[in-house]
Structure 1
Amino acid sequence: MSTQHESPESSTESLETPLDRLAASRRRFLSLASLGTGAVALSACATGGGGDDDDSGGDVAEGGGEVSDDNPFGVDPSKPVEVVIFDGGYGDQYAKDAGEAMAALHEGIEVNVSSTVDIQPELQPRFVAGEPPDLYDNSGAQSMNTAALVSEGQLSDLAALIQAPSLDGGTVEDSLLPGALEPGTYSGTLYSLNYVYTVFALWYSAKQFEEKGWSAPVTWEDVMTIGEEAKKEKLSLFAYGGQNAADYYHTLAISMAVKEGGPEVATMLDKLDAGAYEQDAVVKAFAAIEEAVKADFFLPGGSGIKHTDAQAQWVSGKAVMYPSGSWIENEQKGVTPEDYEMTGCPEPQLSSSAAMPAEAIHGTAGEPFQVPAQAKNGAGGLEFLRVMLSKEQAQNFAKVTSSTTVVKDSVPDDAFGSTALASVNEMIKAAGENVYTWNFTDWYNLGTDFKPLWNEFLNGDIGADEARERSQELVDGVREDDSVDKFDVE
C-alpha cells in the first residue's frame, strides 16, 4: 500500500556532502517522529512513505551466538539487552517478569528493563543519535509516529520473529490470534508486534443484572428495554465523559453499523468515501444513539467530566452500562466495588437481520513493540519478544493486568478470578473469525475532532443528522487535503 506524497529523500538531493545528507535526514526524522502519536493505529498495508533501499529497515542481524532452535536469533549472552516499556495502564511488571524469564533461558545474559510514560521525548533523541534501545513499547500519548519511523528506515523487519520456533512448539505465528499481525504490517512488512488484544464491548455488573432480572443485550432493542427498566428505578442507562472520551459512543455506533451492514461499512470509512456517513447502516446507528439521548438515558452532567469520572459514576451504580475496550477493569481498579462482577458482552446488533452474527466482536491488537534498525542488540530484542509471546508470559500478563495478549488460549477458564477477563476470553472464543475493526480515526488522527462533536451529540445540543453531516465533513476534509498522506485500503 502506498501513500500519496513525495518521497522524503527527494528534498535532500541538492545537498552536497554525505554528512549534510545525514544531518538533514536526522533533522527530518526528528520533525516527522513528533508529528503524530497514534502509532498503534496504523494498520495492515499502511506506510508513512517511501524511501531508498539504503534507508529501509532491514532484517535483524544474528546476535553472534550459536544459532539453534532454542536460540533462533543467535543471542550472545555476553551482550546486554535493553528494553524500554511504556508505563501506562498495564504497568511494567509483566516486562520485568519476561526479562527474568529471558535471563533464565540464556544464562549470564544481562536484561535491562526500564519504563517511562514519555516515549517520544526520551527515545527520539536516542534515535537521532543512533543509540536507540534494543526493543521498546511505542505506546501512550507521547508515542512516536510509526509512519515516520518506517519511512525513515528506523525500524527492523520482524519477519524472523514470527517465523521462529515458539517456546511452546510450532512457530510464533502459529501461536497468535487471527488478525494479530495486521495492525503492525506496512506494505507487507511487519514492523510492530502489537502485544495486547483489545475487545470493545458493552460493560455491566453481572451482580446488578442478576438482581434486576436483566439479560445481557443482544440487539439495540434489548439495550433500550434495559434503559426503560433502569429509568423506572431512577438509574441512567449510560454515563459519558465529555471532556475527553465522548467518542467512545462513536466507536459504539460504528461498531453497530459494521455488524448491521458487514465489514464493507468499515472499508468505506477507511477509504474516506464521500458517502461514508450516508451508508444506511451508519444512519441507523446514529439514529439509535439519538433515540437513547432523547429518552434521557444518559447520566446528566457528562459533558463536563472526564472518562474516568464517568466510569466511576458507572461502577458506583449511577449508570447501568458503559462502552469501552477491555482495558476498563484494570483502569478502574481501586474504584470498582469488590463484588461488582464487571462483565462484557459484544456490542449489540441494530437488528435481528444484521449481516454479522451477534457473537461478532470489534477486536484489534495494540501496544506496539518495535526493534530499532540501529539497535546494538536487535537479536536480543527479538528474543525478548519471543519470550513475551510464550504462553507462560502471556498468562502472567493476563494475571497481572486483567487483560489478554495476542497469544491464543493463554487465559485459563477461571481468568484468575477476573469476571471481566473471563468474559473477554469467552467473547474471543465465541467470535471465532467474526472479528472486525477499522482504522480511519487513528490513521488520520480524527479522535481529537470527534470528541467535541460527540459531546454535543450526547448532550442533546445536536441531532443525529447534524452529527453525521459534521462527521462526513471531517472525513471529506482529510480526503481533500493534499498535504495529508492517504492510505490505500484493500
Structure 2
Amino acid sequence: MGTEQDDTTMPLTPLDRLAASRRRFLALAGAGAGASALAACAAGGGGKDSEGGGGVSEGGGEVSEDNPFGVDGSAPLEVVIFNGGFGDQYGKDAGKKYKEMYPEADVQVNSTVDIQPELQPRFVGGNPPDLFDNSGAQAMNSSALISEGQLSTLDALIEAPSLDGGTVGDSLLPGSLDPGTYSGKLYSLNYVYTVFALWYSAKQFNDMGWDAPVTWDDVMTIGEQAKSEGISLFAFGGQNAADYYHTLALGMAVKQGGIDVAKNLDKLDAGAYEQDAVVQAFDAIEDAVKADFFLSGGAGIKHTEAQAQWVTGKAVMYPSGSWIENEQKGVTPDDYEMTGCPDPQLGSDSSFPAEAIRGTAGEPFQVPADAANGAGGLEFLRIMLSKEQAQNFAELTSSLTIVKDSVPEDAFGSTALASVNSMIQDAGDNIYTWNFTDWYGLGPDFKPIWNEFLSGKIDAAEVRSRSQEVLDRVREDDGIEKFDVA
C-alpha cells in the first residue's frame, strides 16, 4: 500500500549528525568567526568553565525577592522563539510583560523555523541570543551543545520565587523537568506539557455509537466497523511523521510491561526492542497494517496532510501529542469535537491501569553559556512560568504548559484541551514517558523505518531489528555522550 519510498537518500545516523554539528562549529571558528569566543564567556552570561556550561551569572543588578537573578534593568534582551505549531504570540506577550517589569530594557522577541541554520553561527561567534526555543525539524542537537559546554544550567530558575508565590519549582507539574535533565543537571526548560493520546471526533463516535477504545482489541473492532463504512482507521504522513506510530507502539508497550520497559530503552539496552511488551505492541500495529486499516498514499505525504485527511473524515483516529488541535486549526470542522483517549492496553495483565497516560514536557528553552544577558533569559522564563502567561499560552494554543492549575474548567471552549485536563486528572500518578529519542536526536532514524512498515513493505520483526540497530550504534559510539537513567 502507498507510494514507493525514495531510497536514494539515506538518513543520517546520530553519529553523523553529532559529527556534522562539531565540524560546523570548528569550520566556522576556523573561518574567522572567532575561535577564542568559544572559550570565553560574555559579560553577564552563563559562566562557562573547563567542564562545560555552568550556572547563569548574576546580571549586575541588585538581587532581591522581586529580582532573584540580579537582572540589570537597562540591559538589552534577545529571545528567539521557534515559530511552529504553537506560533510565537505567547513569546511576544511574555516580552511585553518583561518590558513592563524592566521598562528601560530593549526587549527583542524574534521568531524563526530555522533554529540551527540561524543560531549555530552565532554560537560559534560568541554572540548567541540570551534565550532560545530549541525546537522543530531544524533544532540544534542538545547533547552536542551540552558536551561542547554551550549551554548554562537552569537550576537557579527552579529555586527562584514564582511570580505567583512559592518557588517556581513548586508551581510545576510532576515530572515536567525530567526531559530537560541530563545526568542530573537541568539544561532545558521544556515549557509545554504534552499528553500523547489517540485522537478522534466525539461527534463521529456518538453518531456511530462507538465508545472511546480502552484496549487494542477495541481499536481493531472500530477499525473493522469503519472499514465496512468505507473509512480507514488511521492516516499517516510518511514524509516526516510515520514515527507517530512508533510513539504509540512504545506507549502501549510501557503501559503493558511497566516503567522498566522505558528505562531499558533510555539505557540503550542491547535487548530493548525484544522486550516482550515491545514485541506485543509492534505485532499489534502489524495486525492493523495487514488488516488494511491505514489510509493508502501515506508514504508520500506530510503529517499535516495526513491530519487533514483525518479531520475531514477519511480516517477515524490519529496518534499525536496534545498540540494536534492547534496544528489543525483552520482545517478541522467546527463541530468536530476533537477528543483524546489514553494509549490502549494490550491485555488484561497490563502493568498500568487504563487511565495511565504518557505525559511529558516539550518545547525546550535553553540559555546559552555565552549569553550576554543570561540573567534576563532566566527572568523571561520566570515570567513565562507565571499563571498569567501559562493561561495565555493555553488560550492561544489550546495546549498546556508545565504550570499546574493554569487552565479554567471550561478549557476556553476547547474539547481537546478539556480532554487533556481530564486525562491528567484521571491518570493521577500513573504517568509514564521515555527520553532516549530526544536525548540522542533519534527521530530522523525511526521515520523511514516506520514509513516502510506502515506501507506494508517490512514486518514488525524487521522494524524491531532495525530500531535496535539505531540504539546499538549510539550505545557503542564513544563519541556520543551518554546520559544517566534514574
Q: Which interval holds the TM-score relative to the shorter structure?
A: 0.7 to 0.9
2-structure distance, mates of 1:358, 1:76: 50
1-structure distance, mates of 2:185, 2:74: 30
Q: 1:93 Cα shift?
A: 0.6
- Asked if 1:162 is matched to 2:158, the reply is yes
Cα shift readout 1:220-262 (whole Å, capped 9, x = no counterpart): 1111111122122111111111222221111111110100000
1-structure distance, mates of 2:474, 2:372: 39
Residues 307 and 86 (structure 1), Cα distance of their counterparts in 2 relative to 1, 3 Å cut: same
Cα shift readout 1:81-101 (whole Å, capped 9, x = no counterpart): 221111111111101111111
**Which range moves more in the overlay, 264-273 or 394-403?**
264-273
Residues 316-465 of structure 1 aligned to structure 2 (within 5 Å): 316-465=312-461
1-structure distance, mates of 2:467, 2:182: 27
- Asked if 1:270 is matched to 2:263, the reply is no
- Asked if 1:57 is matched to 2:50, the reply is no
1-structure distance, mates of 2:318, 2:225: 16
Question: Is the CA contact 1:86–1:119 (under 8 Å) kept in the aligned structure 2?
Answer: yes
1:259 aligned to which of 255, 259, 262: 255
Q: 1:392 Cα shift?
A: 0.5
Structure 1 match to 2:124: 128
Question: Is the CA contact 2:74–2:102 (under 8 Å) kept in the aligned structure 1?
Answer: no
2-structure distance, mates of 1:436, 1:442: 15
1-structure distance, mates of 2:155, 2:408: 29
Q: 1:480 Cα shift?
A: 3.5
State the aligned residue count: 452
2-structure distance, mates of 1:213, 1:332: 25
Secondary structure at 1:54 match in 2: coil
Structure 1 match to 2:25: none
Structure 2 match to 1:219: 215
Residues 111-260 of structure 1 aligned to structure 2 (within 5 Å): 111-260=107-256
Question: Is the CA contact 2:232–2:314 (under 8 Å) kept in the aligned structure 1?
Answer: yes
Residues 280-299 of structure 1 aligned to structure 2 (within 5 Å): 280-299=276-295
Question: Is the CA contact 1:77–1:110 (under 8 Å) kept in the aligned structure 2?
Answer: no
Question: Is the CA contact 2:34–2:126 (under 8 Å) kept in the aligned structure 1?
Answer: no
1-structure distance, mates of 2:466, 2:290: 20
Structure 2 match to 1:470: 466
2-structure distance, mates of 1:266, 1:125: 36
Residues 28 and 219 (structure 1), Cα distance of their counterparts in 2 relative to 1, 3 Å cut: farther
Q: 1:55 Cα shift?
A: 4.8
1-structure distance, mates of 2:432, 2:195: 10
Residues 154 and 225 (structure 1), Cα distance of their counterparts in 2 relative to 1, 3 Å cut: same
2-structure distance, mates of 1:379, 1:472: 42
RMSD (Å) for aligned C-alpha atoms? 2.4
Structure 2 match to 1:47: none
Secondary structure at 2:437 match in 1: helix
Q: 1:117 Cα shift?
A: 1.6
1-structure distance, mates of 2:108, 2:172: 26
Q: Which amino acid aligns with 1:116?
A: T
Cα shift readout 1:435-463 (whole Å, capped 9, x = no counterpart): 11122233333332322222222222222
Structure 1 match to 2:78: 82
Secondary structure at 1:320 match in 2: strand
- Asked if 1:94 is matched to 2:104, the reply is no
1-structure distance, mates of 2:113, 2:199: 27
Question: Is the CA contact 1:66–1:74 (under 8 Å) kept in the aligned structure 2?
Answer: yes
Q: 1:483 Cα shift?
A: 4.2
Q: 1:199 Cα shift?
A: 1.1
2-structure distance, mates of 1:414, 1:286: 37
2-structure distance, mates of 1:156, 1:483: 21
**Which range moves more in the overlay, 269-278 or 419-428?**
269-278
1-structure distance, mates of 2:144, 2:452: 34
Question: Is the CA contact 2:255–2:345 (under 8 Å) kept in the aligned structure 1?
Answer: yes
Q: Which amino acid aligns with 1:233?
A: E
Question: Is the CA contact 2:86–2:326 (under 8 Å) kept in the aligned structure 1?
Answer: yes
**Which range moves more in the overlay, 450-459 or 324-333?**
450-459
Q: 1:464 Cα shift?
A: 2.1
Residues 107 and 64 (structure 1), Cα distance of their counterparts in 2 relative to 1, 3 Å cut: same
> Which ranges in structure 1 are unaligned for 5 or more consecutive residues?
12-18, 30-51
**Which range moves more in the overlay, 93-102 or 471-480?**
471-480
**Which range moves more in the overlay, 478-487 or 149-158?**
478-487
| Percent identity over paired residues | 75
Residues 191 and 488 (structure 1), Cα distance of their counterparts in 2 relative to 1, 3 Å cut: closer
Cα shift readout 1:367-409 (whole Å, capped 9, x = no counterpart): 1111222222222111111110000100000111111111111
**Which range moves more in the overlay, 402-411 or 106-115?**
106-115
2-structure distance, mates of 1:466, 1:130: 45
Q: 1:432 Cα shift?
A: 2.1
**Which range moves more in the overlay, 340-349 or 366-375?**
366-375
